[in-house]
Each structure stands twice: as structure tokens, then as C-alpha cells.
Amino acid sequence: MTQIAAEVWRGDTVESVHEADLAVVLADEPQPGRILATWGNPFAPVYLRSAAKPIQAAGSFALGLDRLGVEPGSRHLAIMAASHGATPDQISAVRDLLALAGLDESALDCGSHEPLSRAGRDALGGAAPTSICGNCSGKHAGMMAACLAQGWPVAGYRQPDHPLQRHLRADFARVMGLASAELGSGVDGCGVPVWAVALPRVAHAFARLCEGDLAPVGQAMRAHPELVGPPEGFNVRLMAALPEVVAKNGAEGVFCLGLPERRIGLALKVRDGSHRAVPSLVLSILADLGLPTPDDLAEYVAPEIRNLHGEIVGQVRAVRRLAPPIDL
């Protein structure tokens, strides 16, 4: 039986549907923790895409970035975990991180694209975007800094056979409670390796994002949510409105979050890769976990669809909830 997660209504008729896979996990035992709720097929491997950045940032930090002046909970670690919008503050954080390593933006090998935020596009003033505008430039700056901290060559740092990427793969597998060979392997949009893993293991990792060797990054994301994505993005607004949440989105409909004090993690994948269903789904899940939607996020509960005249013609509605609601 098809398990629809969200419906897209136009007038009085469902026009489209989004199916999703989900795992909600309590980190009270070894990997992958105690599964509290699932939808769909959460055990199929999923590429985390940018939702892997917090774990990659923690793996880079562990290579000695503190010796370069990168501190736990710092804006440098927040920008390493970010899919930023190239706002002036975010670009400044990337440049500061590069400067700690004695590098400049010419060393970045993350590719370029138009800034993800309006502020970032305005700051360019019509100029062509450079690599530092790429939403992954903070991650890449941290990776290069880790190479320098270890005495590894910066050249080729994003290739899978580079010592840095071999280390990050092994560390990611360790966090997920798997052998490195068990990870699915691919290449991310910015050119670094990306790995696939089942959602319960991801949810377990996000439940522990403010613990142990993941804590420096999780604390940085909570302290500096404004650096983690475009200011208008759901991910940033969610963390700003609900400080108990630490969250990261990824391409192709991936969204992961943790409630560190409750040691609960959530990993969600919208099967068709669309992001438009993610906010309503996430807020419905958080409500079932006892976190009512703040007023400044109300627009995401059932996002409106407007026509070219600005008239409301439909909405996106979450129709899958946790069953039963989890009360811990």
C-alpha cells in the first residue's frame, strides 16, 4: 500500500503527492539506536548529500583544526557544516577560516553557482559568482585546513583516494556504526565523495550531534544558525525559532534533525527529491514529538500555492504523522 506523506491541493482536488521515507530514533543503545517510528522503507540506502556536512565537519575538526585556531562551537565550524547563501557574514566566515590555514579563495575547488540567498545575490551586484559563493565553500575550506593540519597535500583534497577523503569515509562509517565497505559511494555536487546509508543510522547520529566528538559541530550550529544556510531557508528559520533543534537539509529531499537534550534524531527522505513537502512534514513530526509550531513558522504548516496574480490557489498538506504520537 502506498504511504503518501504529503498532498498538494489545488482548489478542492489533490493535484500531486509526495511519498517519503522516515526514521525517528532514540539514542539509548548501540547503533542504530531504538527506532521509535518509521514511514515507507527507511532501510534503503540514502545519499545524505549536504546533510552529511556536520559529520564531515566533525571528521575534519578531529584532524587538528584546533591547532589552527578553530574552536569548538565556533562560527568556523558552523560554516563548515553549512549550505550557505553567500551572505556577507557567511562569506566572511569562509574567508576567516581560509586565513587561519594561510589560504585564500583561489584554493577552493568546490565549483561555483549563483548564491542561494537574496542577500548573497544582491552582494554580487551583477558580478559573476566565484567558488566562495558556492554553498559548500565552508566545507571545502575546512577540508583544506585539515590537510594542512596533518601535513597532507592540499592538491587533490576532494578526490576519493586522497588521505583526507579516506579518513573522512572511515570516520563517517564509524559514526554510522558500519564498516567503511558497507557505505554506498558516489560524488556530490561540489565534487567530494558522498555516501549512502539507511535512515535509522543517520537519525541516530543526529540524536548525538551535540555529544562526544560530534559536539563541537553540533554546538556551533546551535550557536550560529544564521551561518548554516540562506537566511530565508526553512533550515535556518527552524533552528532560530526552536533552539532545542539542530538540523541540516540535503539535496534531493533529505532533511535530518536532532533534539539533543532528548537524544532523539529524525532522518527524512522525500522519494521524488522535492523539498516543497519537507517543512510541513517536519513540523508535523515535531508537533507529534511535543514541539508545537511557533507563530513565526506557521506559514510552513500548510504552505500556500499562489498563481501569477498572487492569489492563493492551493496548499501543501502533511498527511502522514507519527502513529501514535511519541510522548517521552
> All 3 cell numbers of residue 247?
538540523
Model pLDDT, residue 29: 80
| Percent helix / strand / coil, the chain, rounded to 5 | 40, 20, 40
Q: Which H/E stretch holds residue 88?
A: helix 88-100
Amino acid at residue number 120: G
Model pLDDT, residue 112: 95
Model pLDDT, residue 1: 44
Numbers of helices and strands, H then E, in the chain: 10, 11
Distance CA(277)–CA(297), nearest Å, equals: 14
Whether 257 and 291 have beta carbons less than 8 Å apart is answered as no
Model pLDDT, residue 323: 74
Half-sphere exposure of 36 (CA within 13 A, CB side): 25
Q: Where are the domains of the chain?
A: 4-318
Any idea which architecture 4-318 has in CATH? 3-Layer(aba) Sandwich (3.40)
pLDDT tens for each residue of the chain, 328 residues long: 458 899 999 999 999 999 999 999 999 888 788 999 999 999 999 999 999 999 999 999 999 999 999 999 999 999 999 999 999 999 999 999 999 999 999 999 999 999 999 999 999 999 999 999 999 999 999 999 999 999 999 999 999 999 999 999 999 999 999 999 999 999 999 999 999 999 999 999 999 999 999 999 999 999 999 999 999 999 999 999 999 999 999 999 999 999 999 999 999 999 999 999 999 999 999 999 999 999 999 999 999 999 999 999 999 999 998 876 666 5
Model pLDDT, residue 4: 85
Helix (H, G, I), strand (E, B) or coil at 97: helix
Helix (H, G, I), strand (E, B) or coil at 304: strand
Phi, psi of 185 (to 5 degrees): -125, 140
Distance CA(201)–CA(134), nearest Å, equals: 28
Distance CA(236)–CA(246), nearest Å, equals: 10
